[in-house]
Each structure stands twice: as C-alpha cells, then as structure tokens.
Amino acid sequence: FWLALHDNKVVGSIALLPFDKETAILKKFFTYPEFRGNPVRLGQQLFDAFYAFYTANDFSRIILDTPENEKRSHYFYEKQGFQQITREALDIDYPFPDRNSRIYEKNNSEQA
C-alpha cells in the first residue's frame, strides 16, 4: 500500500492485492484533483511505484475494477496499456464494490 502525503495529509493512494503468484489486483487508487495532471502527475507517480513493485515481484498480470462513470480513470488505465475485458472473461473471483464497474487487465508483456 502506497500513500502520497502533502503537508502531512494523505492526498493519494494505491494498493497491490496479491491474488496468486501471477496475478495482482490494483486497489484503492485515488488522488485529489489538485494533484492530477501536470505539473504534479501524482497518479502516474503512484502507478509507477505500484508497477515497480509488481515487476520486481514477478507478477505477470494486473486486474482492476473501476466505476463505469469514471472516464478520466478509463483514459489513464488505457494509456498504461490496460485492456477492458468482460466479466465473463475474468477468470478469478475477488470481492469488489460493483458500481456498474468496468474490468481491466494488463499482462506483464505490455509496457507501463
């Protein structure tokens, strides 16, 4: 679990939930709006820390869920190489708050 702090306050986070030795689930990813985009790009910084850990620990796939109405998030994930998959294509079962969620997957062979 990674936290981003500003003036001793949490302004962003990201977490990696290991599902098995191959699959990591991206969880709890958020940044406050004023830290998104240029010049700070906090979301990218948090994802880079997550991805470095993911790679160093030999995972080969990332799965995540995100609400359908979070268009900015969809753009970010797709820019990172994630592909949207159907629920039927999701071959693991993990609890997530279903908010009309999209499911995304990224394989290790796809660059961050």
Instruction: Kindly list the distances between the CA atom of residue 108 and the CA atoms of 10, 57, 89, 96, in Å, as whole numbers in the listed order.
Output: 29, 11, 18, 23
- Assigned CATH topology for domain 2-107: Aminopeptidase (3.40.630)
What pLDDT is attached to residue 48?
97
**Does the N-terminal peptide bond of residue 33 adopt cis geometry, omega within 30 degrees of 0?**
no
List pLDDT tens digits, range 9-35.
999 999 999 999 999 999 999 999 999
Predicted confidence (pLDDT) per residue in 60-95, tens digit: 999 999 999 999 999 999 999 999 999 899 999 887
Asked if pLDDT for residue 111 goes beyond 70, the answer is no
